[in-house]
Amino acid sequence: MMKKRITWIILGFSIYALFMGLYLFYWADFGVPDAYKGTAADPATFMTERELQLSEEYSRYRSFLSFLAIPFEWIIYLGVLGFGLSRIFKQFSEGISKKKIVVVPLYILLLTAFTWVFTFPLQYWARSLSVKYGINTQSFSGWMKDEMVSFWINVGLTSLVIGVLYALIKRFRKKWWLAAWGLMIPYLAFMMYIQPVVIDPLYNDFTSLSDKALEEQILDMAETADIPANRVFEVNMSEKTNAMNAYVSGIGSNLRIVLWDTTMDKLDDDEVLFIMAHEMGHYVMNHLYGNLIGALGTSLVGLYLAYRLLGGMIRKWGKSWGVSSEADLASLPALFLLFSVMSFIASPVELAISRHAEVQADEYAIEMTEDVDAAVGSFQTLTVNSLNEVNPPFLVKYLKYGHPTMMERLIMLNDYKKNTQAE
């Protein structure tokens, strides 16, 4: 029976990978519609022939890897359960100590390490691609350092969350999902509060913005937007990447306005101001809190569905997995599998909401700066610098894009400029 299941899983994954490869490399069209050729939305007007070729190649490979990673994660969880590894991890942990404060972190460490080892080839392939195409500039040792930081942060936070979750499952057999959701509210708010000042500095050094004149302009914009900030933080990202970014993150006294040095180096000041106005738009329109509310809503639904489905899975396959009940820590891979599948199913809706929020932030930035040319220039430079596809295929857009496509954003700017001139 096990051999048959493995055969079907390998066959299914192979067919899926073949389909995605054919779709991305042969069937999908990355070009722009004829109606927009020659406009600001046409990459041929601001990218060289070589840049166009590299952009299309990189986009196809990157998307292919991203699509492979989704079911591959599910296969790992099924393998951990099907081969009895989850039960072995738990027994080993309990052999070290019977105390839950030791058992849970040790089990999480073993499961996380096993998962990391099997996903490492895909991660390394993705990194190699970004290096090959000139996006990633970080040394291998630096990249591995960040990987290890992420690994241990993941182990620590997951141990805390899972320890509490399984204590709730054991105590509240039928209402654990509701109790867990109640604790999600302070947890997510706390994470938003500490992210900018505790977690982010583990990866990068944050300093005051070196360009004081630019900082003053950004802070003037922040004051206009009623954002309580008295400094702008600069991150030295040029050691790691050629990509550009800026953001406003955190809540309360830990709110931070952050600008990557790559953004400042590659854009003119007016273009940087448009990017910062866009990020401020997210704050002004309460998108940060909207994300929190959205996460709480989806977690409520996800936890309830997990409660309904996990028991059925264990009743059907628990004996072969070596899992006795929902409260058995060895059931965790099944829970992770459920969350991952549900997240994938919900992603088109979540991404559509995110794209709508990004459109709102773009519109806010245009109204604040009144500089359409700077907006166009920033988007075009971002496209060239990151080798982004201007018009991604349907599946890539609706399953991966949390922002409008560059073509959509540039068309919107072009229409805005026409309407302004007509007035």
The answer to whether position 54 is within a domain reads yes
Q: Write out the two tokens for 418.
A: 């026409």
User: In the chain, pLDDT over 70 holds for what percent of residues?
Assistant: 99
The answer to whether position 40 is within a domain reads yes
pLDDT at residue 30, rounded to an integer: 82
Query: Active site includes 423?
Result: no
The answer to whether position 125 is within a domain reads yes
Query: Active site includes 146?
Result: no
Region 361-390: what's the mean pLDDT?
93
pLDDT at residue 419, rounded to an integer: 73
User: Which is the catalytic residue, given 279, 326, 328, 389?
Assistant: 279
Please give the tally of structural domains in the chain: 1
Q: What is the residue range of 356's domain?
A: 2-203+286-407
- pLDDT band (50, 70, 90) for residue 421: low
The CA distances from residue 399 to 6, 301, 325, in Å, are 27, 20, 34
The answer to whether position 95 is within a domain reads yes
**Residues annotated in the binding site, as ranges?**
278, 282, 358
The answer to whether position 276 is within a domain reads no
Closest CA to 226 of 284, 285, 288: 284
248-289 pLDDT tens trace: 888 777 888 999 999 999 999 999 999 999 999 999 999 988
The answer to whether position 190 is within a domain reads yes
User: Which is the catalytic residue, given 271, 362, 389, 408?
Assistant: 362
34-86 pLDDT tens trace: 888 888 889 999 999 999 999 999 999 999 999 999 999 999 999 999 999 99
Helix axes 372-386, 332-369, angle to 10 degrees: 140
The answer to whether position 413 is within a domain reads no
**Under 8 Å between Cβ of 233 and 259:** yes
Q: Write out the two tokens for 51.
A: 């840049």
User: In the chain, pLDDT over 90 holds for what percent of residues?
Assistant: 78
Q: Give the HSE-up count for residue 250: Cα atoms under 13 Å, Cβ half-sphere.
A: 19
The answer to whether position 130 is within a domain reads yes
